[in-house]
Structures are given as structure tokens and as C-alpha cells.
Amino acid sequence: MVKSACYCVAYEQFETGIIPTLSNLKGADLSNSGIPGKTIVLGTGNFGTCLANHLAQKGHSVTIWGRSQEIVDSINTLHRNPKYLEHIALDHRLNATLKLEPESLKAASFLVLAIPTQSLRSVMEPIKDLISPSCIIVCAVKGIENDTYRFPIQIVEDVLGPASRDKIVVLSGPSFAIEVAEKQPTAVSVACRNAETNRATQALFHTSLFRVYTTDDPIGLEVAGALKNVIAIASGTLAGLGFQQNARAALLTRGLAEIARVGAALGANPITFMGLGGVGDLFLTCTSEKSRNYTVGYRLGKGESLDEVLRTLGSVAEGVSTSKAAYELCEKLKVDSPIIHVVYSVLYGGDTVANGLHRLLNREMKAEISNQ
């Protein structure tokens, strides 16, 4: 009787709108605009588009920069991105441009970076002297630069100088761009060494349906965000080969252990890997066909060549380039990383998927928790 009474009360609240439905939330005013000021988003891909649209919907003055005339024109006139998130109607207040005007850069309170890691340095160099010292740089980029083994915040600091350190923030967490754009409830983390910068970035992005949590461990967020894409390729490969949930659970758990070992070697807080940007993002990326990296692995597991997969993928899978830098970084740090090693050997070393799997499954017996 008690359970029945509780159900009746809950149902009445649901019917009268006391408990909101998801559709009601999507239609609600969730602006919570917080901080005024101009924001520039670099990158018109999936994540750049969804973040720029999110901020425009909050009422911020937002300009998104891209290299495609077609995309820029379409955003400005049709309020659609014809290549990424094409079915999403973008906010009419969102402005797109091909050229970053000096006056706009100098006036920007926030600069959001949503471009591939391997292009980040070349994009930042020409504009470094136009960025205000007070501008907060938000890295929504996940990866490791080849040859230098630098993470995005380190690349930005290299370009802008050490004085920029307290103005560079990492934004990461389990957040497929399409679900953010569709106003599905999402939670992410932002990380900066400076608490005031962290709070300002949190206020910029936070809404009821895009919850933002703060942490003071940017390197931990970056390590997790980069390496989960490599593990996702392995997870997709297992699925493509026909393996089921036991294998996936084992891979994700051991993959998280590898990520944590790399993080520890770089000075990250181990607790970070238990949070949104760690296990949260790893789980999302490694279990969904919406993940580009998972899709790459799945198609490799089905027998396609890497060249064919990348030619027809339609967007960048950061894990492919990251796997090379990650493998070399692990070798440099002397960190045991068998999954990363196998992904690298399949993508770059001429190894077969079957042989890579065989090597993983036939490693020597070990303790689960150790310093190795």
C-alpha cells in the first residue's frame, strides 16, 4: 500500500508538471547566462559547433571560426552546419567567420579551442600576439602532439608563454556533440590551476542540461581525454570481432589502469581518473557507435583496412594519431601499456588485429594492483 501511495503521488506530480519531463526541460529557458563578454570558438566540427551553439543559446556573443566557405556561409544564412550536426537548427545569434579579425581577438573574453591536436600549434602561432592577456583559453581538444608528446594545454602554453598558465582551462568529459546539441543531459569537468579561472569557465558553460564541475588537475583530464580514444579503438575492434560484454569490461578496466599509470608518471591526481573526464568519458567512448574512435576499431575488427576506414569516416578520429604519440610517450616514460602498444602495432606497425589480440590474451600472469 505504501509503494502504491508513493506511486500515485509521483504520478500526480509528473502529470501536473511538478516533476519535469525531458521534453519540458528541452523547451525550458535554460540560459543561466552568467558572464557577459565575447567568445570565439575555433573549429566548425562537431564539438566546436555544439559548444558555440550552446553558448549562443545562453545569450553570449559568439563567433565560430572555420576554414570552409560553405560551412561559414551556411551557418550565417541558413543557421545550419551542412557537414557536422547538419540536422540541428543553430541559434540565429551565432556568427561564423573565415577570418579572425585582430579587433575581435583582442576583445575576446574566452577563446574555445575545438580543432584537432595536430593542427593546434599552427593555428595558434599566427594569432598569439592578438590574444588579450586576460582572455581565458578553453581547450576542448583531446590528443597528444606527435614528436613533441605535448598535450593541448602544454601546446598553448608553449605558444603563449608561461604567463598564460593561469588562463588555460581543460574542458573534458562524457559528451557526444550530437547529444549536447539535442539538449540531452550532459555533465563535464573543467580544470585549471587557477580557481578563479575555473569558476569563470564553469559559469560560462553551465546550464541545467550541461552541468559543469571543476577540478584542479588539468593534466589528469588531458591524459584521460587523449588516451581513452586509443582504448576506444581497441574496444571497437573487440566488438567487430564478435566479442561480448565480458571482454569489453576487461578491456575498459585494464585500459583505465593504463591511463592511470601514464597519469601518475606525469604527476596527475589518481582520483581524476575516477571522475567524469576519466572513467565517465572512457565508458562513453568505448561503448557507443556514436564514437568515431570506436567506429574505427569496429571496422578494423570487421576486416577493413585503416586507409579505407579513414577515407570514408567523414571526420577526425583523434585516437588514430594519438596512438602513435601515446605509444612513444609510454616508451619514454617506461610505463607498462600493453593495450596502447597493441593498438599502435596494428595501426602503424603492420600487425594484424588477430595477432595483436593473441598477444594481449597470452601475456604472463600478473597481480591486478601493482606498481608495474
Q: pLDDT of 356-372, one tens digit each?
A: 999 999 999 988 887 55
128, 136, 138, 175 from 200: Cα distances, Å: 22, 9, 11, 20
Confidence band (pLDDT; 50, 70, 90) for 180?
very high
Mean pLDDT of 115-138: 96
One fold for 22-216 and 220-361:
no
pLDDT recorded at residue 33: 47
CATH classification for the domain delimited by 22-216, as one of 3.40.50.720, 3.30.450.40, 3.40.50.800, 3.40.50.10490: 3.40.50.720
Cell of 369: 594492483
Statement: residue 25 has pLDDT above 80: no
pLDDT recorded at residue 320: 92
pLDDT recorded at residue 16: 40
Statement: residue 296 has pLDDT above 50: yes
Q: Residue 38: which H helix or E strand, with range?
A: strand 38-42
Catalytic sites, residue numbers: 228
Q: pLDDT of 238-264, one tens digit each?
A: 999 999 999 999 999 999 999 999 999
| Domain 220-361 coded CATH 1.20.140.10 | no
Domains of the chain: which residue ranges?
Answer: 22-216, 220-361
41: burial class by Cβ within 10 Å (0-12, 13-18, 19+)? Answer: buried
Cell of 51: 559548444
Which contacts qualify for 298-307: CB closer than 8 Å, 24 or more apart? 298/236, 298/237, 298/239, 298/240, 299/236, 299/240, 300/233, 300/236, 300/237, 300/240, 300/346, 300/353, 301/236, 301/237, 301/238, 301/239, 301/240, 301/241, 301/353, 302/240, 306/347
Read off the pTM.
Answer: 0.88
Task: Let me know: does 51 contact 140? Beta carbons within 8 Å.
Answer: yes
Statement: residue 8 has pLDDT above 80: no
